[in-house]
Structure 1
């Protein structure tokens, strides 16, 4: 091959590569989902009679919806009318109703997800709390009474059990820890009691906290339309696997979705599920301190050699922290080898420890770093911010 032929071949190759890269970047920007493999279907659209054939293709998540939808049920809970005092006292009711007081008993309050062949159903505590009767309706029309296995108000989760003739559809769990902002998700539930509905969106944010909805907050935020009645329903990935339990929406009026919805990650939900099935309750760790954030002023006042961690404001007498030697003014930086940067992280890490187990708490006391062995205590349910952790 001559020199001119080589140059011509190289020119053609470089031009083709440039065009291919440009096409890739256009697709990745405008239609990133086309680059992901999954059950989504690419199909040529059929042409109507007498119309010219269509060359376009349609991207569909029908396979994901079909895989998950049979296991998402409508939950009908018979509840007495709420008073304004009850709404004001409950953060979940305040979040959903505000100053609007429901005047009559209501049915068809939420959704649920069948998570095991034994008939266990995950839903929200606020869907079934206080109900005198709970019924579940499957998408195929079968309806049955549901037994309440247990509730966990601190995560707003509840477990029901139903008994129906086989086949019983069961959803497949995914991995919430694998989610990334921008991933496509589907929300499946029973909004406004109109019947099973599937909406789509993306993961808008991960690890949302400080919403004031529950003690343990680590929400998946999504812009998939979630409305009243979707509570307890499924948030699934593009493969139809359960990644979250839809729980709340942001709404200025307590009405429809504004594109900000929240779901409890599936790994947290399954931990609660297993505990409620096994023990009928969720046991969490407790060390017995009142905490606060640290800032530049605290660092300077206490002459700390770190600028992150959780300030110990008070240690309760006789608590596990007191027995381990923690003092007011200490800054907790690690528990069980896991770094903690704010009171919410400390609560979540400590709560995940088994009561009566042994752990190590690392604290900064002035310029000194201490590692204190500690025996974890049992957390009392429904402790609020400012109560001992």
Structure 2
């Protein structure tokens, strides 16, 4: 019996392997057809070395001063590399903005080893895309997918030059779609595609293909602790790239919509207090006075559920939707206000250099407790003017065992709203607090260092 069982395992193993191999896709035709349109990008930037400087308050002894006299420092060239791909037969190509940022010279190398100097048609740092042009005709090119029908689990292929290794291919699956990754300026305009494709430094700007051979994304970022791929890579969707390319060709710049709100995530407690069945939407924590949202009638405390008929499931969805909307267009916005849905027509503004379409404020989840435990006083006029508030009460003491402490309220915070009512004075605060029903979960809005935050608090 033991011998027969062992023979069965040995005979079955090749069958299992064969079945697994049979189900895997064949990437060969896709790679052979697409590789000629993928390019390697080499950039050169002239950098002037910094001169020697001492820490503040220190001086060079006279005997050594001649050694540190100012002298002409020669410039040196710094080189970097990335990837890109041709999108037309007459030499237009797409890459990441960070690949060509501050470059003095850009050289594009084709798979047949021909090299061309490229000029920048336009760039868009907010989407990390740049449109280049080389002087050549009848070139192979790739087609950008025109829809967002990419599905989680779908096979995708990347071609690029990781670590300078020319025209390398790697494959994997789509791990997630619509990922929000704010930049260092807290801007968030790209709903990234997350994959487990092996993307490494040098792949930036290269194409991400579906199995039909269409470009569904532009490889842009990796998450890594070692400097190499750990199976978390992010690509800019082709629909975003198409919009950017069209505007850069037409105007040399990219115009985006602007709403003029500061928003935060809606957790379970906030959803309960605002009358939602589940956490969803983007909670308006603050508005730009005179901005598009303010002019349209959107109010602080509204939860935006739909923007231009696009569902807003998380706060990160709103900047994506607003940023992709053309300025001056009128769109319907569905909000939850005091437990009731309301539709508001909003005329979208134009995003300027220092603005943000919808800024996300990061806060920790709210918690509920059993009482307030606060001592408050009227806000000082100087602080009110500095934070552009119409009123409010400043927290002077917080009972560490009270509901307010559990909700994250701290001394120095300025409470501007309790329940669904605005607070202007201490008398408002006391009146509103006295009229709120017992054992109810209520929203509370306060400012800390000028930044608004919504939490929930349970009254008894």
Selected match of 1:188 from 143, 151, 159: 159
How many angstroms apart in 2 are the aligned matches of 1:32 and 1:366? 57
Residue 351 of structure 1 aligns with which residue? 323
**8 Å contact 1:74–1:108 — kept in the other structure?**
no
Are 1:75 and 2:49 an aligned pair?
no
Compared with structure 1, are the counterparts of its residues 299 and 262 closer, same or farther at alpha carbon in structure 2 (3 Å cutoff)? Answer: closer
**8 Å contact 1:305–1:367 — kept in the other structure?**
no
Are 1:210 and 2:165 an aligned pair?
no
Which string of whole-angstrom CA distances, capped at 9 and with x for unpartnered residues, describes residues 24-44 of structure 1?
Answer: xx799835745x7xxx4xxxx
Residue 129 of structure 2 aligns with which residue? 157
5+ residue gaps, structure 2? 1-15, 50-74, 362-450, 452-460
Are 1:237 and 2:210 an aligned pair?
yes
Task: Work out which of the two has the higher radius of gyration on C-alpha atoms and give 1 or 2.
Answer: 2
Q: CA deviation at 1:312?
A: 1.0
**8 Å contact 2:99–2:205 — kept in the other structure?**
yes
**8 Å contact 2:181–2:188 — kept in the other structure?**
no
**RMSD of aligned alpha carbons:** 3.0
Which string of whole-angstrom CA distances, capped at 9 and with x for unpartnered residues, describes residues 325-377 of structure 1?
Answer: 11111111111122212221111111121111111212111023221122110
Number of residue-to-residue matches in the alignment: 321
Selected match of 1:278 from 247, 250, 271: 250
5+ residue gaps, structure 1? 1-25, 41-60, 84-102
Compared with structure 1, are the counterparts of its residues 64 and 195 closer, same or farther at alpha carbon in structure 2 (3 Å cutoff)? Answer: same
Which string of whole-angstrom CA distances, capped at 9 and with x for unpartnered residues, describes residues 265-306 of structure 1?
Answer: 112111111111111111111121111122233345455677
The 3-state SS of whatever aligns with 1:272 is helix
Residue 99 of structure 2 aligns with which residue? 127
Structure 2-normalised TM-score?
Answer: 0.64
Listed as ranges, the matches of 1:1-389 within 5 Å are 30-31=20-21, 33=23, 40=26, 61-80=27-46, 105-164=77-136, 166-174=137-145, 177-210=148-181, 212=183, 215-253=188-226, 255-302=227-274, 307-381=279-353, 383=355, 385-386=359-360
Compared with structure 1, are the counterparts of its residues 64 and 303 closer, same or farther at alpha carbon in structure 2 (3 Å cutoff)? Answer: closer
Structure 1-normalised TM-score?
Answer: 0.74
Q: Which fold has the larger relative contact order, with Cα–Cα distance below 8 Å and residues 6 or more apart in sequence?
A: 1
How many angstroms apart in 1 are the aligned matches of 2:196 and 2:320? 26
Which string of whole-angstrom CA distances, capped at 9 and with x for unpartnered residues, describes residues 156-203 of structure 1?
Answer: 111101112x43111133356233233222211111123221122222
**8 Å contact 1:234–1:244 — kept in the other structure?**
yes
Compared with structure 1, are the counterparts of its residues 27 and 158 closer, same or farther at alpha carbon in structure 2 (3 Å cutoff)? Answer: same
